[in-house]
Amino acid sequence: MTRFSIFSLAAQALKGHRGWRPTWRDAAPAEGYDIVIVGGGGHGLATAYYLAKVHGIRRVAVIERGWIGGGNAGRNTTIIRSNYGLPGNEPFYEFSMKLWEGLEQDLNYNVMVSQRGILNLYHSDAQRDAFARRGNAMLLHGAGAELLDRDAVRNMAPFLNFDSARFPIMGGLLHPRGGTARHDAVVWGYARGASDLGVDIIQNCEVKGFLCDASGAVTGVETTRGAICAGKVGMSVAGHSSAVAAMAGLRLPIESHVLQAFVTEGLKPVIPGVITFGAGHFYISQSDKGGLVFGGDIDGYNTYAQRGNMPVVEDVCEGGMAIMPMIGRARLLRSWGGVVDMSMDGSPIIDRTPVEGLYLNGGWCYGGFKATPAAGRCFAHLLATGAPHDTAAAYRFDRFERGYLIDEKGAGAQPNLH
């Protein structure tokens, strides 16, 4: 692919921008590959990219039932952060944050990483103490954190409601390196990078089942575009993890729920970074186009539908009004829903499955987008070496059996740990 630079941009401008090549090859499926990745979202494409670049494995195919960027990659609120508190999570997400910080140079693609900071508000003494503990964990792993008092938060965001008797804003935990990135640019950048290294990206190719040998080991996938053989198969299909795994006879500790998000009309710059409500589940940032982008909790029922219900819309809007009443004057432009795979402890799974030759990257709950670089890097390491990456060693299936849950936040609406 042509490398992007000020010189290539100037040269194309002189040609009327008629010389640009497609961002990636729209490949036809071959008979077989060393590794097939099911799922052409950010995680699947990142996995393929790191398999080719880091491990030198280039006979790789990424198969996507729709088009690149048409799934959860285009249905999220674009937040990137590493402000976790538990040992299993914080090292992983800090690894991801470091990859985010060098991603544009690595991919030679503008993914619009904007580290404007994330401010988590606290509303009680107990919550302040909990945030102090989380901040200390972040500092120990090099993520950076600052515990702010009420005056410091007021200086940063004077438009917040500091006078509410129900949810008084007492301060906040600031994660200065957090921020946002452009969701579709991330997918396009990884697709471009992987394709340039020889990976086949196959769109409009839905998996209908798995090919197995006499021992029951997976040897490929059956798709709407024919059978594709593979030495290993990796599943990275977000909210449809359970449905795809069921084709191989697996029942995962995962539930699928819809997570709604919203954006308002374009406004002048007002939100300095990302702000979250500590007395409810509400988070908000402002896009480059000026729209306020916000969301909250999952809908409380299992579904594969990419649409939500009104009670959650009401709950999210109430959360916004509680901390910044001025949001009530903004007109809602659109909303959407993404299907997320909620694990039973709120943390992901990156591991080989009990079926030989089949591997899973799933259970990302609310954290899928921010984990994209590290999830791809760690899943690629697992597929290439057969061993978990150091920063993802805690994300194995056996933690549920051993009782080593990473319960950063309760996840599923009705966890069934049996």
Work out the percent of the chain whose per-residue pLDDT is above 90: 84
Average pLDDT value for residue range 67-76:
87
Quote the mean pLDDT of the chain: 93
Residue 410 has pLDDT above 70, yes or no: no
Instruction: Tell me which amino acid residue 36 is.
Output: V
CA distance 272 to 248: 47
- How many residues in the chain? 418
pLDDT (0 to 100) of residue 307: 84
Q: Locate 100 and state its tokens.
A: 């985010």
Mean pLDDT, residues 224-236 taken together: 97
Amino acid at 250: L
417 burial class (0-12, 13-18, 19+ CB within 10 angstroms)?
exposed
The gap from C-alpha 19 to its chain's centroid, in whole angstroms, comes to 33
- The model's pTM: 0.94
Contact 232, 34 (CB under 8 A): yes
What distance in Å separates the CA atoms of residue 188 and residue 77, rounded to the nearest whole number?
Answer: 17
- pLDDT of 417 reads 47
- C-alpha span between 312 and 323 (Å, rounded): 17
pLDDT of 9 strictly over 50 = yes
pLDDT over 90 at 415, yes or no: no
Residue 317 has pLDDT above 90, yes or no: yes
Model pLDDT, residue 348: 95
User: Which tokens sit at 159?
Assistant: 């438009």
Amino acid identity of 152? A
Asked if the model's pLDDT at residue 418 lies above 60, the reply is no
Assign 3-class secondary structure to the chain: CCCCCHHHHHHHHHCCCCCCCCCCCECCCCCEEEEEEECCCHHHHHHHHHHHHCCCCCCEEEECCCCCCCCHHHCCCCEECCCCCCCCCHHHHHHHHHHHHHHHHHHCCCCCCECCCEEEEECCHHHHHHHHHHHHHHHHCCCCCEEEEHHHHHHHCCCCCCCCCCCCCCEEEEECCCEECCHHHHHHHHHHHHHHCCCEEECCCCEEEEEECCCCCEEEEEECCEEEEEEEEEECCHHHHHHHHHCCCCCCCEEEEEEEEEEEEECCCCCCCEEEECCCCEEEEECCCCEEEEEEEECCCCCCCCCCCHHHHHHHHHHHHHHCHHHHHCCEEEEEEEEEEEECCCCCEEEECCCCCEEEEECCCCCCCCCHHHHHHHHHHHHHHCCCCHHHCCCCCHHHHHCCCCCCCCCCCCCCCC
pLDDT at 390 > cutoff 90: yes
Which pLDDT belongs to residue 63?
97
Tens of pLDDT, residues 94-125: 999 999 999 999 999 999 999 999 999 999 99
pLDDT of residue 76: 87
Q: How far apart are CA 36 and CA 220, in angstroms?
A: 8
Distance CA 308, CA 260 (A): 6
The residue-averaged pLDDT of 405-410 equals 77
pLDDT tens digits along 240-257: 999 999 999 999 999 999
Whether residue 321 has pLDDT greater than 80: yes
- Average pLDDT of span 234-242: 95
Lowest mean pLDDT among 269-273, 301-305, 357-361, 395-399: 301-305
